[in-house]
């Protein structure tokens, strides 16, 4: 049996200094509050409806007034892009902060004030925050449609949402193959699923999956190299993945958990222009 490798004191000091330097440089850059609006043209093979512009706001992680302010700035940036709809694939709360209904209400009121149709799914922090039923009630009283193993629609597009894959009970098979599905299977469908590694295994003819969860790594080395990634968020870190079973966009999100900062990993409002894949002549 191979004896466990010892980490030398010098190596430990070097690693600690490297991590501290990374954090310091990232903080000087002000990554926490420097929201980036990214633009992506998504050409989908089974998108048989007109073009759609979706704004993605994920992982707001409302814990303090600063988080509310950041989340509402993200909403404002999204509105400036004139999207048709806003998609929010989970983690509105921070499990360490419990269920802060008042702050959640304030954020959802900001989303409602835009007048733009919005749809959401649960994240692991929402499911773990203690009382998902309170969260659901709050969404029921808002203009944002919370989809927990459920469907809705926007124009000719079906919007679906799964329960959280870590602390909830996602039910993709009954949702997409069940006899109660109220929409034809060939209708273009966007699925909100918080954890990308879980969503990547789904193959139900879904047009597009929108995920969050990873925060893009949140604390990264230069060039956005993640130091740590969460469970079910290790394989699909951020950005556009067109060649999976289901094409998938993974947002870096807006907020933070654990250590309250980001380095080399700016918060993101993603603007997705979704259109059909051009057919060969």
**Closest separation in Å from C-beta 91 to Fe ion:** 4
Q: Which of 203, 205, 190, 202 is nearest to 249 (CA)?
A: 190
> Hey, is 234 helix, strand or coil?
coil
**Closest separation in Å from C-beta 214 to Fe ion:** 8
Q: With beta carbons less than 8 A apart as the criterion, state whether 124 and 92 touch.
A: no
Q: List residues binding Fe ion (CB under 5 A).
A: 59, 91
**165 or 274: CB nearest Fe ion:** 165
- Ordered alpha helix ranges (H), 87-189: 101-113, 124-128, 132-140, 172-177
> Hey, is 247 helix, strand or coil?
coil
CA distance 255 to 92: 9
**172 or 233: CB nearest Fe ion:** 233
For 57, 223, 271, the CA distances from 44, given in Å and listed in that order, are 21, 29, 15
**52 or 193: CB nearest Fe ion:** 193
**Closest separation in Å from C-beta 29 to Fe ion:** 21
DSSP 20-39: HHHHHHHHHHTGGG--EEEE
**149 or 211: CB nearest Fe ion:** 211
248 strand-pairing partners:
209, 241
**91 or 138: CB nearest Fe ion:** 91
**Closest separation in Å from C-beta 233 to Fe ion:** 9
**Closest separation in Å from C-beta 104 to Fe ion:** 15
**59 or 163: CB nearest Fe ion:** 59
**Closest separation in Å from C-beta 65 to Fe ion:** 19
Q: With beta carbons less than 8 A apart as the criterion, state whether 97 and 257 touch.
A: no
CB-based contacts of 151, cutoff 8 Å, min separation 6: 158, 159, 160, 175, 181, 182, 183
**52 or 62: CB nearest Fe ion:** 62
CA distance 122 to 146: 8
Strand-strand pairing, 144-146 and 118-120 = parallel
| Number of neighbouring beta carbons within 10 Å of residue 37 | 14
**Closest separation in Å from C-beta 88 to Fe ion:** 12
């Amino acid at each position: 049996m191979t004896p466990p490798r010892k980490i030398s004191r010098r190596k430990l000091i070097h690693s600690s200094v490297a991590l501290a330097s990374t954090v310091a440089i990232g903080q000087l850059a002000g990554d926490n509050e420097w929201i980036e609006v990214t633009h992506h043209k998504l050409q989908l093979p089974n998108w048989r409806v007109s073009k759609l512009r979706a704004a993605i706001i994920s992982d707001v992680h409302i814990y303090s007034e600063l988080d509310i302010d950041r989340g509402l700035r993200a909403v404002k940036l999204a509105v400036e892009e004139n999207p048709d709809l806003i998609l929010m694939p989970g983690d509105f709360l921070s499990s360490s902060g419990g269920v802060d209904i008042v702050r959640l209400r304030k954020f959802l009121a900001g989303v409602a004030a835009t007048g733009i149709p919005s749809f959401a799914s649960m994240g692991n922090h929402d499911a773990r925050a203690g009382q998902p039923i309170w969260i659901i009630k709050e969404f029921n009283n808002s203009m944002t449609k919370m989809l927990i193993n459920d469907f809705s629609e926007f124009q000719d597009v079906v919007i679906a949402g799964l329960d959280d894959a870590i602390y909830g009970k996602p039910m993709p098979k009954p949702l997409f193959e069940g006899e109660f599905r109220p929409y034809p299977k060939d209708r273009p469908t966007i699925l909100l699923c918080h954890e990308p590694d879980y969503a990547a295994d789904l193959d139900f003819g879904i047009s597009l999956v929108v995920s969050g969860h990873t925060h893009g790594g949140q604390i990264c080395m230069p060039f956005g190299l993640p130091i740590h990634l969460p469970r079910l968020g290790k394989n699909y870190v951020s950005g556009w993945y067109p060649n999976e079973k289901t094409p998938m966009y993974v947002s870096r999100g807006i907020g933070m958990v654990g250590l309250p900062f980001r380095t080399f990993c700016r918060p993101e409002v993603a603007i997705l222009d979704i259109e059909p894949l051009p057919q060969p002549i």
